[in-house]
C-alpha cells in the first residue's frame, strides 16, 4: 500500500496542514528554462494561479465555437456518460473528455504557449488527466461549491501528489454576473482534509452537486480571511492557469449571458494514478485518465497545419 500524505474523507474532522509538495516543481537550476519569468513564477507560487487576459484572439477561438455548436446538435454524443446535465433545468452542464471527442480540442491541449508554461511549472513532461467544458446558460447555470480539485483526484482517482495544473480557457466572456470562477489566493499551500466517507459511485451525483470532499466553513473562513477571494474576469480567449489544490467555487449564472469555460488538466508523467486513496473503486476514464502517461508533444497550428496557397 502506497503511503498517503493527504488523508481525507475521514470519520472525524481533521486539522489542515501545509502541503507536502512544491508548488513550482522545476528543479532550482532549471527553473528559469521556460516562458514564465521570475515575477510570474513567484505570483503562481504565492497565489496558486496566473491570469492571462485575452491570451487567444477571437479569430483563434472561432473554430472552437463552431465545433461546439455542431456538438450540441449531435444526439448520440449528448447521450454519452461524459455529458452531465444541470440538476434543475436538464441543460448540458459539463462535457468531459473533450480532447478525445475532438481532434481540434486535442491539438489545443498541445498549444506550445500553454504547454511551455505548464511543463515549466510542473518540472517536466505532462499528460492530460481530465478535460471538460463547463457550460452555464443564461438565467439557469448552477454553481459549484468550494473545493480543491486535488482532494477529489487524490481520494477518488488515486492521484498521489500535488503535481497537476488546470488550464481554463474562457470560451465566452466571463464577468461578475455570469458566474465566473472564484479562487482563494494562497489556499493551495494548505491541505484541508474533508470529513465524510466517499459514497459508492459518488461521481454520479458529485458532478451535479458536490457533497463529499467539501471543506468545512471554518477552514474556508480562515483561508479567505488570509487570502481574500479573486474572480478573474475578461473576454473570450482569456486563460487561467490554476494549481490543483487551490480552493475554488462559482455562483450560478443569473445573467442572460452564457458562460462557457474549457478546462484541460495537465498532470506530471511522474504522478500517474494509483488506486484511489479514499474510494472503493476508481472513477470512469472520462473523468480520470488511467492509461500509461504519454508525454504531450507541442503542436503549433501555424507550423504543423499545411498552408494552402492560391496559385
Ligand atoms: O470531480 C472532478 O473531477 C471535477 N469536479 C469538480 C467540481 N471540479 C474539478 C473536476 O472536474
Ligand atoms: Fe474544480
Provide the pLDDT for residue 206: 87
Provide the pLDDT for residue 68: 85
* pLDDT tens-digit series, residues 34-44: 999 999 999 99
Interatomic CA distance for residues 151 and 286, integer angstroms: 18
Of the listed ranges 19-23, 46-50, 139-143, the least confidently predicted one is 139-143
34-60 b/e with 16+ CB inside 10 Å = b? bebeeebbeebbebbbbbbeebbeeee
Residue 27 phi/psi, 5-degree rounding, is -60, 150
Q: Which atom of ligand 1 is nearest to the CA of 96?
A: 11
Q: Angle, nearest 10°, between helix axes 38-47 and 112-122?
A: 70
Provide the pLDDT for residue 311: 42
Bigger pLDDT: 284 vs 308: 284
DSSP string spanning 2-39? ---SS--SBSS----EE-SS-SS-S-GGGTTSSS--HH
Q: Look up residue 10 and give its three cell numbers.
A: 475521514
State the distance from the centre of ligand 2 to the C-alpha of 302, rounded, in angstroms. 32
State the distance from the centre of ligand 1 to the C-alpha of 149, rounded, in angstroms. 6
Provide the pLDDT for residue 305: 57
Cα-trace Rg, the chain: 19
Q: What is the mean pLDDT of the chain?
A: 92
Domain ranges of the chain: 47-193+214-311
Provide the pLDDT for residue 135: 87
* pLDDT tens-digit series, residues 19-30: 999 999 998 777
Ligand 1 site, CB within 6 A: 130, 132, 144, 147, 149, 152, 206, 210, 287
CATH topology of domain 47-193+214-311: Jelly Rolls (2.60.120)
Q: The pTM is what?
A: 0.94
- Is the pLDDT reported for residue 306 higher than 80? no
Best probe residue, ligand 1, of 207, 215, 248, 261 (max atoms within 8 Å of C-beta): 207
* pLDDT tens-digit series, residues 208-251: 888 899 999 999 999 999 999 999 999 999 999 999 999 999 99
Interatomic CA distance for residues 123 and 183, integer angstroms: 24
Q: Which atom of ligand 1 is nearest to the CA of 153?
A: 3
Above pLDDT 90, what percent of the chain?
Answer: 74
* pLDDT tens-digit series, residues 142-201: 888 999 999 999 999 999 999 999 999 999 999 999 999 999 999 999 999 999 999 999
Amino acid at each position: 500500500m502506497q503511503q498517503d500524505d493527504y488523508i481525507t474523507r475521514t470519520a472525524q474532522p481533521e486539522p489542515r496542514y501545509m502541503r507536502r509538495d512544491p508548488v513550482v516543481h522545476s528543479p532550482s537550476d532549471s527553473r528559469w528554462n521556460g516562458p514564465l519569468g521570475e515575477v510570474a513564477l513567484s505570483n503562481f507560487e504565492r497565489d496558486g494561479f496566473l491570469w492571462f487576459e485575452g491570451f487567444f484572439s477571437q479569430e483563434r477561438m472561432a473554430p472552437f465555437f463552431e465545433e461546439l455548436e455542431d456538438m450540441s446538435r449531435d444526439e448520440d454524443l449528448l447521450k454519452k456518460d461524459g455529458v452531465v446535465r444541470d440538476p434543475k433545468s436538464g441543460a448540458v452542464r459539463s462535457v468531459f473528455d473533450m480532447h478525445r471527442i475532438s481532434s481540434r480540442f486535442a491539438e489545443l491541449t498541445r498549444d506550445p504557449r500553454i504547454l511551455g508554461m505548464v511543463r515549466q511549472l510542473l518540472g517536466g513532461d505532462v499528460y492530460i488527466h481530465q478535460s471538460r467544458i463547463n457550460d452555464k446558460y443564461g438565467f439557469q447555470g448552477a454553481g459549484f461549491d468550494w473545493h480543491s480539485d486535488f482532494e477529489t483526484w487524490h481520494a477518488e482517482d488515486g492521484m498521489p501528489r500535488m503535481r497537476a495544473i488546470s488550464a481554463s480557457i474562457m470560451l465566452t466572456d466571463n464577468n461578475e454576473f455570469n458566474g465566473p470562477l472564484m479562487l482563494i489566493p494562497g489556499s493551495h499551500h494548505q491541505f484541508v482534509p474533508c470529513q465524510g466517507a466517499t459514497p459508492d459511485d459518488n461521481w454520479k451525483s458529485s458532478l451535479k452537486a458536490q457533497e463529499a470532499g467539501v471543506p468545512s466553513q471554518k477552514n474556508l473562513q480562515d483561508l479567505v480571511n488570509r487570502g481574500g477571494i479573486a474572480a478573474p474576469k475578461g473576454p473570450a480567449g482569456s486563460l487561467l492557469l490554476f494549481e490543483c489544490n487551490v480552493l475554488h467555487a462559482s455562483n450560478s449564472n443569473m445573467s442572460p449571458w452564457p458562460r462557457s469555460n474549457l478546462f484541460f488538466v495537465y498532470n506530471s508523467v511522474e504522478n500517474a494514478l494509483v488506486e484511489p486513496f479514499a474510494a472503493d473503486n476508481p472513477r470512469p476514464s472520462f473523468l480520470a485518465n488511467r492509461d500509461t502517461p504519454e508525454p504531450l508533444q507541442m503542436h503549433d497550428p501555424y507550423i504543423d497545419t499545411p498552408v494552402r496557397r492560391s496559385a
